[in-house]
Chain A
Amino acid sequence: MNMPPAISFDAVEQVFTGNDGAPIHALSDLSFSVARHEFVSVLGPSGCGKSTLLRLVAGLIAPTGGSVSIFGYPVQEPRDEIGIVFQKPTLLPWYTVINNVTFPMRHKYGRVQAKDTARALQLLDLVGLADFADKRIDELSGGMQQRVGIARALLLDPDILLMDEPFSALDALTRDEMSFELLRIWRDRPKTVLFITHSIPEALLLSDRILVMSERPGSIREEIKVPFERPRTLETLGDPEFTRLANHIRSTLFSKPVAA
């Protein structure tokens, strides 16, 4: 038997009740799977249910219909196999950098052991913040804070890393830098990554596969295999195929399925 996929969605429906009581159909008949150690981006217009999708994988919400599985097991509650990097760094200002990275241990088990701190230091080294372990959060730039967020998500050594537009709050330069950083981290610590974004170049640069979503109710409009060799570099961005694919995705996003 084949190993079950890291993440799989089977005919998932998600309906919320809006503030006015009317139902909001967020996701409709959503099916896809992500293999172990695959890097998959979910790309779509804002409000298409990208974040809902991520929260379903995380076990923070339950699907209205269909099923979500991780390594073949249906998701019923949050699991240890998952680390989340949020849109905003979501750090705790009353802790130092190192204590923010060890926070999952403190929060989950109530104490932090020496080996956890050692691990956190390794992770800070991995994200390039070895010298900042004892700094306060407000002494760090936005990009650095997001690196701390990534180190924290890696602390419990999850198999799956969920990233919810993690670089969208950063400026353009930092954003490119962080993309390459993430590729380097991913090469050092292979993980299954589900990366939510609304940036086409970001998705193309990072992913093995891109799921292009439709507007609400969200479903997959197109699935694109990204052909570029790894490791990807600045030259990847200049590849004519990169531009062609970017244009193709853009036209997919802007075309209405009815009109097509």
Chain B
Amino acid sequence: MTNLNEKKTAISQRQQVLRLLDRFTPALAFVALIGLWEISTRVFSIPSFLLPAPSRILADGFAVAASTWAGHIWATMRVALIGYLLAIAIGIPMAVGLAKSRFLARTLYPALIIIQSTPIVAVAPIIVVTLGAGDLPRIVITFLITFFPIVVSTTTGLLATPEELIELSRSLRAGTRREVMQVRLPYALPYIFSALKISTTLAVIGAVVAEFVAADKGLGFFISFSTSFFKIPQAFAGLVFLVILSMLLFRTVGFLQKRFAPWSLPKNER
């Protein structure tokens, strides 16, 4: 009997260990990868201008003053956020227009597709020349990269509203404004949020591309500046901050969705 109980405790302990392992697998995998990277740079003595070791990136990162980092991070974040919010503020009403008006759909959609088909990276230098120095050209470039997925997804969501819900709305003679605000837009939220998530990373890309072209601040500027002086570990440190920034924006949108529109998530993600 005691033997059996011991066996049971042994099994439950085993399960606990497995559960802990499962929980920390992503973190462990990450640490292992960094370790492997560190070891291989040392074992194969890879020069730091080809691939710096994580320890070197860390050290060079710390060599830059915190206030300098803060300045660059803030510059990039500001441009990315303003461009992103602008894309939402213009993209969603535009999607409503596209979904509700055949005329707008016929006139605006081709223009949108032309804009999307134009490689923004190639247009960026032109925009900088046209709009001059300052944040404006960078914000416009970020906006142009982020807003297309928002417009397309929102339009798709607005048009995916079940016909019967629209008939319900029409049978109440509620009017187009309420139909859009109370039925179509909430129905489109899952589509809108998936676009908003994709667009966070695009916003950071947009800001960095703009900084590559013309800037005196920002992580994109910092990276291109560092590489031109062959300070590759320092450029990598800038890259780390960009990844963190991107992930932070992505997570924030995910959090907002979970907090304010949990029904728009699949059941197992609520």
Q: A-side interface residues toward B, CB under 8 Å?
A: 55, 58-60, 77-78, 82, 84, 86-88, 90, 92-94, 104, 106-108, 110, 136, 138
Contacts and interface: CB of A to CB of B under 8 A. Distances in A.
B248 to A, nearest CB: 27
Interface of B: 162, 164-165, 167-174, 178, 182-183, 186, 189, 261, 263-264, 267
A242 to B, nearest CB: 32
Looking at chain A's contact residues, the main secondary structure is loop
Given A84-B171, A104-B172, A93 B164 contact: no
Nearest to A152: B168
State the 5 A-B residue pairs at the shortest beta-carbon distance, nearest first. Answer: A78-B171, A90-B164, A107-B174, A86-B164, A108-B172
Contacts, number: 50
Nearest to A106: B182
A137 B64 CA distance: 54
8 contacts: A60-B170, A77-B173, A78-B170, A78-B173, A84-B168, A107-B174, A107-B183, A108-B174
Contacts of A138: 263, 267
B171 A59 contact: yes
B171 A60 contact: yes
Contacts of A94: 186, 189, 261, 263-264
Given A78-B171, A84-B171, A107 B182 contact: yes
B178 A110 contact: yes
A105 to B, nearest CB: 9
Contacts of A136: 263
Contacts of A108: 172-174
A87 B164 contact: yes
B258 to A, nearest CB: 14
A90 B171 contact: no
B172 A78 contact: yes
Contacts of B173: 77-78, 108
Nearest to B169: A107
A60 B162 CA distance: 15
Nearest to B267: A138
A108 B172 CA distance: 6
A138 B262 CA distance: 12
Contacts of B164: 86-88, 90
A90 B263 contact: no
A82 B171 contact: yes
A104 B174 CA distance: 9
Contacts of B183: 92, 107
Contacts of B167: 55, 58, 60, 84, 86
A88 B183 CA distance: 16
Contacts of A110: 178
Contacts of A88: 162, 164
Which of B169, B171, B182, B183 has the most C-beta atoms of chain A within 10 angstroms of its own C-beta? B171
Contacts of A55: 167
A69 B162 CA distance: 28
Contacts of B189: 94
A82 B173 CA distance: 12
Contacts of B165: 90, 92
Contacts of A104: 172
Nearest to B189: A94
A162 to B, nearest CB: 9
Nearest to B186: A94
A82 B167 CA distance: 13
A228 B75 CA distance: 80
B231 to A, nearest CB: 51
A94 B187 CA distance: 8
Contact of B171 (A58, A87, A92, A93): A58
A135 B183 CA distance: 20
Contacts of B174: 107-108
A134 to B, nearest CB: 14
Contacts of A106: 182
